Amino acid sequence: MILKFSKMHGLGNDFMVVDGVTQKIFFSPELIKRLSDRHFGVGFDQLLLVEPPYDPEVDFHYRIFNADGSEVQMCGNGARCFVRFVVDHGLTNKRDIKVSTVSGVLRLKLNNDDSVTVNMGVPQLDPEKLPFKAEAQSESYELCVKGFDAVTIGAVSMGNPHAVINVKDVKTAPVHELGSLVEKHERFPEKVNVGFSQKVNDHEINLRVFERGCGETLACGTGACAAVVAGIVQHRLVSPVKVNLPGGSLNISWDGKNSPVMMSGPAVLVYEGQIVI
């Protein structure tokens, strides 16, 4: 079978985007792992699958798979590329789109300057909902991690789970050594994305993210949202916040409590491709 796809990225977090509306395809974990390989396949952090809506109230359904083949609940950078994709491929004539995901409905807007604004929904701080094993909800938690002193984290779900570690300098933070241990920590039964956040000022942070299911990426949209929420909850940050990631910056705002997190940033098409599978 010849599979058509678009190779896209949001600040260097890169995706293989597939139109599952006009192409019928089943992606097994093995096929995804083969396609995500940067030498033997297309190479990507996540695979994004565009499907017809299951719910008449929304325009599309959107499924997300990590490079390791795991299906996950949410992808912020991917949501921006999703909008670019469905508009450019004529799958909709709207620029304000509602899309369902495994963990809820997102509202996406393609702006006149080609940036995309995403309503990322209300963050979840209840450990039960992350899921994260803790006695009670708190601004921060202590994790015991082999080979490291007690690690203090914030824990936030943006539909997918995030642990946020405050560091003095992201450039020297043990992103891979510590990130890979926290990702699989026993207190996160579904594993976790791990953000390393350095405060620049009340309205700006530098951030690196070791992502669940694919390792460190150049940017993580849900990770940026989670780091801002954790920082505001810990009274270290004030909305709006500019989040500087290795691949570029995102603008994140959150008014607290049950209000949604808003994210704006770019979405870029690198090339259209096809592959025999």
Ligand X SMILES: N[C@H](CCC[C@H](N)C(=O)O)C(=O)O
* Residues forming the active site: 75, 220
> 42 vs 104, 132, 148, 271, CA distance in Å?
29, 34, 36, 11
Q: Nearer to ligand X by C-beta: 124 or 202?
A: 124
Pairing of strands 13-19, 46-51: parallel
Cis peptide before 131 (omega within 30 of 0): yes
Site string for ligand X, 19-48 (x = CB under 6 A): --------------------------xx--
220 binds ligand X (CB under 6 A): yes
Q: Output the smallest distance, CB 90 to ligand X, in A.
A: 25
Pair 74, 101: CB distance under 8 Å: yes
Q: Output the smallest distance, CB 259 to ligand X, in A.
A: 19
In the numeric block, the tokens 């599952």 are attached to 20
**66 annotated as a binding-site residue:** yes
80 binds ligand X (CB under 6 A): no
157 binds ligand X (CB under 6 A): no
Tokens of 72: 């996950």
Using the contact rule CB under 6 A, the part of the chain among 51-59, 72-80, 101-109, 134-142 near ligand X is 72-80
**12 annotated as a binding-site residue:** no
List helix spans (H) across the chain: 29-36, 76-88, 175-183, 221-233
Q: Output the smallest distance, CB 161 to ligand X, in A.
A: 7
Pair 243, 216: CB distance under 8 Å: no
13 binds ligand X (CB under 6 A): yes
Interacting residue with ligand X among 7, 8, 36, 77 (CB under 6 A)? 77
Interacting residue with ligand X among 19, 59, 183, 211 (CB under 6 A)? 211
What is the Cα–Cα distance from 118 to 110, expressed in whole angstroms? Answer: 9
List helix spans (H) across 161-273: 175-183, 221-233
Using the contact rule CB under 6 A, the part of the chain among 90-98, 109-117, 212-220, 251-259 near ligand X is 212-220
198 binds ligand X (CB under 6 A): no
Residues whose CB falls within 8 Å of the CB of residue 199, separated by 6 or more in sequence, listed in order: 166, 205, 231, 236, 237
Q: Extract the runs of DSSP E, i.e. beta strands, from 20-124.
A: 46-51, 60-66, 71-72, 96-101, 104-110, 116-119
Interacting residue with ligand X among 3, 17, 49, 72 (CB under 6 A)? 72
Q: Nearer to ligand X by C-beta: 73 or 202?
A: 73
> 218 vs 10, 69, 95, 120, 244, CA distance in Å?
9, 19, 27, 20, 10
**193 annotated as a binding-site residue:** yes
Residues found near ligand X in the complex (CB under 6 A): 13, 45-46, 64, 66, 72, 75-78, 160, 193, 211-214, 217, 220-222
Q: From the annotation, which residues make up the binding site for substrate? A: 13, 46, 66, 76-77, 160, 193, 211-212, 221-222
Q: From the annotation, which residues make up the binding site? A: 13, 46, 66, 76-77, 160, 193, 211-212, 221-222
